[in-house]
Amino acid sequence: MNLRIPFNRPLLAAEAFRYMQEAADGAHLSGNGPFARRCTAWLEERAGTSRALLTHSGTGALEMAALLAGIGPGDEVIMPSFTFASTANAFVLRGATPVFVDIRADTLNLDERAVPDAIGPRTRAIVPVHYAGVGCEMDDLLGLAREHGLTVIEDAAQALLATYRGRALGTLGQFGAISFHESKNIHAGEGGALLVGRESDVERAEVVHEKGTDRARFSRGEVDKYTWVDVGSSFPPSELQAAFLWSQLERADRIVEERLRLWDRYHAGLADLENTGKLRRPVIPADRRHNGHLYYVLVGSMPRDRFIAALAEVGIRAVFHYVPLHSSPAGRRYGRAPRPLPATDDASARLVRLPIWSGMSMDQIDEVTATIHRVLA
């Protein structure tokens, strides 16, 4: 197959190698160096959070949040089944049980109406996943958390620079996890960040981040030596990764603006197919600002796999999303779903993600759109 339009093409900013060389020349290649400090300061200012800590991955950020929330054996954590394995793994590693609930049929986000029935005496946290950079119904979820004394940990892996009612996603709960994987709008190849919402959690978050030591306090001159004070792990990325990331964060607003233009072009070009019932387009509630992270359709008039194969025949790479966790081998072993999840099963069977990446042209968007029209004709 001649692949003419890939699903993703990671952006390489012009300054990336210059910044990485600068990091190398500075002879600080481990974590929490000058470029890492620039990145975390940017995140704290733009998100409006008490503290941001870079991690080696979005998965690492979720694992940090699980540690900080005190999740342990016998605990239960409510989350959607329609998400990536990392959402569940972070809590299974602490000995907890993921409790899978259904998603909304409109936004494909955690259905807040299904959460109350899943809350039990062992429930410790709710993990909303902001799918495609579109915020969950956070007011309802935060209200449930307050009522039952639960921690809210936002899986905002796809949601950098997206908002819910004017507030940055990842900052509404106690903790928020961001991903800088190469598939994301802003990337460092691999990478992530933990957003800490409460000032009272910052000191311990810094300790967990630095292998359980108070090295952060030592670096600021607050103690004359550092030592092991709590459980933790090695979460920071290298300074080379932070330098690469900084080259992306500098142009983050332009990247998101460009992706939104591409997203809007898809949305307009496929409107007639939704009107005739051949597919369904994404739904963006009026009180939310998304970030153009991905564009998906729910195919209604032909089998999903046949649709993907038809695009591949002409060199267009489209992919599905996700195998639901509740029906996966590990999900059946480590988690549970108290009720059937019809919206999750339906989305998993029908959803197709279309190509979208920084630097993609409008002509390429139009070619994908025209091909979809032909395929569904």
Supply the pLDDT for residue 364.
Answer: 98
Supply the pLDDT for residue 2.
Answer: 77
Q: What is the pLDDT of residues 102-115, one digit of tens each?
A: 999 999 999 999 99
Q: What is the chain's mean pLDDT, rounded? A: 97
Contacts of 289 (CB under 8 A, 6+ apart): 162, 163
Angstrom distances, CA of residue 287 to CA of 133, 139, 284, 375: 13, 12, 8, 34
**What's the pLDDT band for 365 if we cut at 50, 70, 90?**
very high
Q: Which backbone phi and psi does 5 adopt, to 5 degrees?
A: -125, 100
Task: Using alpha carbons only, give the angle 318, 280, 139 rounded to the nearest 5 degrees.
Answer: 105
- Domain residue ranges in the chain: 16-249, 252-376
27: pLDDT strictly greater than 90: no
User: What's the CA gap between 152 and 93, in Å, rounded?
Assistant: 18
1: pLDDT strictly greater than 80: no
Contacts of 231 (CB under 8 A, 6+ apart): 67, 208, 212
Report domain 16-249's class.
alpha beta
E strand or H helix at 295: strand 295-299
219: pLDDT strictly greater than 90: no
Sheet containing 288-289: which strands, arranged edge to edge? 167-168, 163-164, 288-289
Instruction: Collapse the DSSP code of 37 into the 3-class scheme (helix H, G, I; strand E, B; otherwise coil) and give the result.
Output: helix
User: What's the CA gap between 344 and 222, in Å, rounded?
Assistant: 50
Domain 252-376 is classified in which CATH homologous superfamily? Aspartate Aminotransferase, domain 1 (3.90.1150.10)
User: What's the CA gap between 202 and 176, in Å, rounded?
Assistant: 13
Q: What is the DSSP letter of 343?
A: H
Helix axis angle for 85-92 and 58-68, nearest 10°, is: 40
Q: How confident is the model over 9-23, as a mean pLDDT? A: 95
User: What's the CA gap between 169 and 172, in Å, rounded?
Assistant: 7
Q: Are 213 and 30 in contact (CB under 8 A)?
A: no
Question: For residue 118, how many other CB atoms are within 10 A of its CB?
Answer: 19
User: What's the CA gap between 129 and 288, in Å, rounded?
Assistant: 14
Q: What is the pLDDT of residues 224-242, one digit of tens each?
A: 999 999 999 999 999 999 9
308: pLDDT strictly greater than 70: yes
Query: Is 252-376 in the same CATH topology as 16-249?
Result: no
Angstrom distances, CA of residue 43 to CA of 39, 81, 178, 282: 6, 29, 10, 27
| Sign of the Cα pseudo-torsion (160, 165, 167, 170, in order) | negative
Q: What is the pLDDT of residues 180-213, one digit of tens each?
A: 999 999 999 999 999 999 999 999 999 999 999 9
User: What's the CA gap between 210 and 128, in Å, rounded?
Assistant: 26
Contacts of 193 (CB under 8 A, 6+ apart): 39, 40, 43, 52, 53, 54, 55, 61, 177, 178, 180
**What's the pLDDT band for 44 if we cut at 50, 70, 90?**
very high
302: pLDDT strictly greater than 70: yes
328: pLDDT strictly greater than 90: yes
Supply the pLDDT for residue 301.
Answer: 81
Supply the pLDDT for residue 88.
Answer: 98
What the block records as the tokens of 167 is 């507030």
| Sign of the Cα pseudo-torsion (322, 323, 327, 328, in order) | negative
Of 293, 12, 41, 269, nearest to 159 (Cα)? 293
